[in-house]
Structure 1
């Protein structure tokens, strides 16, 4: 559905701006007035990763007035495959500092505010109210639902997107103008119900397609041009080169959001039924003859780093076959599960305990990355 422009026009464009944004000025529906709206807009970008990277590039290149970027992470080498604003030289920097540098490379006069931290119930409403539009480029359910609820409470339009493996989705949630996220999915799913991008992977160039689509939706809202994805879910399958758009409806029986909740619970610590084993304790445990150390990563990951004495059983096999996937039966044995950081091995351990609650199953905290750092003195990332 077409909407009125979200942002009022700013001051007249300077001669330099007229030259720089000439291709917008001749564009039907944008023109000089639309470009003045873009120059007058304030946008909050949540996340400076795979989706945040192309969003930032296209918004800054378009001449956005003010951009605030919030992220609490640092650049790692494994980010470089898809997070195109970060370079090899940026590894170790905070992502927001790297984002500022990337924005200034595009436009030395870009007005960009970095916030090193997370979006939380304590700061979300204030941040949303201070901006014309919010774009959620994060990769976890907790922040997505927090963003949705803060948008509904503050009346701030929200551009939403998600990616996984070869697929991506984009929608626009505008309070009072169509459905919100909770109309589609009233409750947050369990934290381990969908694998993370680290576990399932993501096709690098997919981030560019989905992120650029999100930036496009933001600029359409700002200028009041075209039909934003309000009440629609745009779906892209990169593997099949296929797109489709689903119609969404508001749930008339849904209770409106009245306050922000406890979103961190979806990312809570592992259940108490799975005991964590510290890396410093592993050698002593391995000294026992009845211990099996099971690495549930993929084969190529073991070529990067593998703990001596570990046996390889991929997570998919553990989840599908349970104890039958392991070479030794659980009776009288201690089974230690390990992966890259402890997330996948946590799922494997939970599955094994669900099949035999009396078995002794431990999860190596921090996984092979922490083991490499503490035992080998080598900081790795892949």
Structure 2
């Protein structure tokens, strides 16, 4: 299959089968495409749908995002994970407003210089919203091209990535680049899937080397697996007489950066210094079911304890600490497991009131 036939086959398939009703495909702007692309990094379309609509309702323009409080941005992101994406989104919005007159740069190189926007995301913004010829290489497209050329080696290795970028550049057509870009993402998401590709329905089947070799699932070569390290922590849910839980804001960098979280302790013996620090009188202790949360580089086993406390003062004296009202929760960014534990605590406290 020639390069021209490749592009024509992809576009013909798009006209007949491509997705055209996703929220970010309506009222297309660089802002809407950018937010959707960042949300879709390492996240499935089905998950992103609800988040995208809520985000756009709350922050419909790059100016609105730039002027929003970080807590509001992280609140809207809660549950999507990889929270550095949200912090970079916020940072980039401020840069676009302050340094680019609220207009997105109209070149891939300039877009790729902005925080959180790499070469592939820049290409998607440029092609989908500006009609510029710009190749992309997100996870779905990488899988399609790696199979099409039967590319050896793990695509995360620079030399393999360069080869796939060369293929992407060569095959990207000069016309209808917005439809081609969307079609390539759709092919990877709907037909050229990771474990059970639908090769019989694929428009690239005649020229796909992996299919011709009968080795579709051998490509792309997976990342070498390593056993995930195991870590544990004790998280106390310190509940006052109003049923509010003590939270603190984590540092802006690192794990769960900028999110509100529960204290983390080695064991129950460390409760004493924490209680003394916040002038709390410890009362009833109740162990809750444990929770395991998997990060990209380790697994965290969480041992949660619901602990009733009597504060000697109504307010927390320290900055970046607060009493989180479970009945009328404030709009804050919460890590997914913390949100789960707060729901469990609310159920236990409500059950206690009824008994």
TM-score, normalised by the number of residues in structure 2: 0.25
Q: Which structure has the highest helix share of the two? A: 2
Q: Structure with the greater relative contact order (CA < 8 A, sep ≥ 6): 1 or 2?
A: 2
